[in-house]
């Protein structure tokens, strides 16, 4: 072959080599074009159509320096299961609890209960008084006040036990009290505490009866103390986000809201453990039942009633005060509903034929004619089918908890309605598709938590256990206590103040009254009476 030919051949072979080397580059180009197209379509479709519309407000900051201003002495009246949790929210756990939580964390790396507790802000308080009618729990309260395994430094003072709440209120060193007794005691203690000048954190439901609720309201107003009702959902970020969306009218006119409770375990139906050390000597039964309409002598039945008090109308209001109150208050927080004009309710004892007199399947309807709104509440204690809560608007539906949670803790999704007026154009253009949520809120979705048992998942889905601040898990009860203490120190109003408490109490009592009397109950706001 001549030199010239060789050269030509070499050039063409060189070009062939280049072509073969780059042969798959066009495929890469096709990939990039396909990717770009897909991303553009996704961005249009499932996108954050709503998040563009929402004026984002960040969640309230969890940290404020108010805790450093004044040391507060607290008393706890009623140190049962809920009392334990509340006092942990203050920053004190029993040695048993810290030990067990430490062990759980060692066994299961996903169990963050201890980490969450220890990373709580030090609220600069001491527990100086514990009142409980059961000796074992009173002693546990004293131990908790002394426990040095806590967020922050060693406590300045430790607790003294009081056998009667009036003795505790007589201690001038105590600035504020937390009431976590059964409901039939709430009114008396709250009223006496307010009159003694103590600030009050009271567990929900506000009272056992409607009349008591009005009396508590008037006393708190007269004395001007700082009052917080124990609806920790007020601190939940998801509810704040939901409120922003609804305030901006993104759901359109809302005429129906469905709230549900779905539980299916004895514990969830208040069949709680009877403490082995509970007996006539360790329990002050007579004091316990003093405000109850029906009294019985101490014995086995009394033991059941002491430890499982939510099963009887003598001490509480069953589903109404325990669970409906939470869902109602969350909705009141989101939609600022106030007290309904009418309420009716039905139900029965269909599953737990164990001597209780409160219903285990119960439904209530609240009517707000002035707001063109019906609120439906439906509860069962014999099915775990998580129905979730739905706020149903003409333009979109917001589904909270339940199946909408999609595994996240207290998430919600907003889905457009196919017949929406507001989104008509976007629906026609295919920008909004009713199959995909137009807004999804799922806090902590990048974070995995070991919230395990079905009941704790129930609470978590409703934001009653944990909420998120800047992506970090925080106990909502702790935030709620802190909100109350901040208000005491700054002279402000906490989030679930006495006005909100009155809304909750009257609405729940209207529904309970309807169940007990079998008729529709009307609220007379002028005379503050139920008709």
Partner 1 sequence: MNYSRLRLISLTVLRILVGWHLLYEGISKLINPYWSSAAFLLDSKWLLSGVAQTIVANPTLLSISDNVNMWGLTLVGALLLLGLFARYAAVAGAILVLLYYFFAPPFFGLEYSKPAEGSYLIVNKNLIEACVLWVLYTFPTSHIIGLDRFFQVTNKSEDIYE
Sign of CA dihedral 168, 170, 175, 178: positive
DSSP character string of 155-220 = -SS--EEESSHHHHHT-TT--EEEE-S-HHHHHHHHHHHHHTT-EEEEPSSS-SSHHHHHHHHHHH
Phi, psi of 186 (to 5 degrees): -55, -50
Of the pair 7, 295, the CB lying nearest partner 1 is at 7
Phi, psi of 343 (to 5 degrees): -140, 140
Q: Which parts of this chain interact with partner 1 (CB under 8 A)?
A: 1, 6, 9-10, 13, 17, 20-25, 27-28, 31, 35, 39, 109-110, 407, 442, 445-446, 448
- Give the nearest distance from C-beta 114 to partner 1 in angstroms: 13
- Give the nearest distance from C-beta 405 to partner 1 in angstroms: 14
- Give the nearest distance from C-beta 93 to partner 1 in angstroms: 22
Of the pair 27, 531, the CB lying nearest partner 1 is at 27
DSSP character string of 81-138 = HHHHHHHHHHT---HHHHHHHHHHHHH-TT--HHHHHHTSPP--EEEEEEE-SBHHHH
- Give the nearest distance from C-beta 220 to partner 1 in angstroms: 44
* 434 neighbors 24 (Cβ within 8 angstroms): no
- Give the nearest distance from C-beta 467 to partner 1 in angstroms: 18
Q: How far apart are CA 280 and CA 180, in angstroms?
A: 22
Of the pair 113, 176, the CB lying nearest partner 1 is at 113
Of the pair 25, 61, the CB lying nearest partner 1 is at 25
* 367 neighbors 340 (Cβ within 8 angstroms): yes
Distances from the Cα of 435 to the Cα of 51, 129, 396, angstroms:
17, 56, 12
Of the pair 78, 405, the CB lying nearest partner 1 is at 405
Of the pair 296, 448, the CB lying nearest partner 1 is at 448
- Give the nearest distance from C-beta 445 to partner 1 in angstroms: 5
- Give the nearest distance from C-beta 414 to partner 1 in angstroms: 17
Of the pair 110, 296, the CB lying nearest partner 1 is at 110
Cis peptide bond N-terminal to 205, omega within 30: yes
Phi, psi of 176 (to 5 degrees): -155, 150
């Amino acid at each position: 072959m001549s030199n010239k030919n060789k050269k030509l051949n070499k050039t063409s072979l060189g070009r062939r080599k280049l072509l073969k080397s780059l042969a798959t580059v066009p495929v890469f180009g096709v990939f990039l074009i396909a990717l770009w197209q897909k991303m553009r379509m996704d961005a249009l479709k499932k996108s954050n159509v709503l998040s563009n519309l929402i004026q984002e407000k960040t969640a309230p900051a969890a940290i404020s320096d108010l805790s450093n201003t004044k040391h507060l002495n607290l008393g706890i009246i009623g140190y049962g299961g809920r009392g334990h949790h509340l006092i942990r929210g203050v920053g004190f756990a029993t040695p048993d609890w810290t030990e067990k939580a430490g062990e759980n964390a060692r066994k299961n790396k996903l169990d963050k209960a201890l980490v969450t507790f220890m990373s709580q802000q030090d609220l600069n308080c001491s527990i100086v008084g514990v009142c409980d009618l059961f000796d074992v729990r009173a002693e546990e309260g004293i131990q908790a006040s002394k426990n040095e395994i806590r967020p922050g430094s060693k406590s300045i003072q430790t607790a003294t036990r009081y056998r009667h709440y009036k003795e505790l209120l007589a201690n001038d060193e105590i600035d504020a009290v937390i009431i976590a007794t059964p409901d039939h005691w709430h009114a008396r203690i709250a009223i006496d505490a307010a009159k003694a000048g103590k600030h009050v954190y009271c567990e929900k439901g506000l009272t056992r009866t409607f009349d008591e609720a009005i009396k508590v309201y008037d006393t708190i107003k007269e004395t001007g103390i700082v009052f917080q009702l124990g609806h920790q959902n007020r601190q939940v970020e998801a509810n704040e986000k939901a409120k922003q969306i609804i305030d901006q009218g993104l759901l359109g006119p809302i005429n129906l809201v469905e709230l549900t409770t779905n539980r299916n375990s004895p514990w969830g139906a208040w069949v709680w453990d009877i403490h082995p050390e509970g007996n006539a000597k360790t329990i002050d039964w007579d004091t316990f039942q003093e405000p109850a309409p029906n009294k019985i002598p101490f014995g086995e039945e009394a033991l059941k009633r002491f430890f499982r008090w939510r099963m009887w109308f003598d001490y509480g209001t069953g589903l109404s005060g325990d669970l409906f109150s939470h869902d109602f208050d969350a909705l009141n927080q989101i939609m600022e509903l106030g007290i309904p004009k009418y309420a009716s309710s039905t139900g029965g004892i269909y599953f737990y034929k164990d001597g209780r007199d409160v219903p285990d399947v119960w439904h209530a309807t609240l009517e707000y004619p002035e707001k063109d709104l019906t609120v439906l509440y439906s509860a069962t204690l014999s099915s775990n089918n998580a129905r979730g809560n739905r706020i149903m608007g003409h333009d979109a539906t917001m589904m909270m908890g339940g199946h909408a949670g999609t595994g996240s803790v207290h998430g919600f999704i907003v889905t457009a309605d196919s017949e929406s007026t507001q989104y008509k154009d976007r629906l026609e253009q295919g920008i909004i598709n009713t199959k995909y949520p137009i807004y999804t809120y799922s806090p902590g979705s990048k974070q995995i938590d070991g919230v395990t048992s079905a009941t704790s998942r129930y609470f978590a889905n409703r934001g009653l256990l944990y909420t998120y601040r800047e992506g970090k898990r925080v106990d909502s009860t702790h935030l709620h206590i802190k909100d109350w203490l901040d208000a005491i120190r700054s002279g402000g109003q906490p989030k679930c103040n006495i006005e909100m408490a009155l809304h909750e109490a009257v609405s729940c009592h209207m529904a309970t009254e309807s169940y007990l009397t079998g008729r529709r109950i009307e609220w007379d706001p002028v005379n503050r009476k139920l008709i």
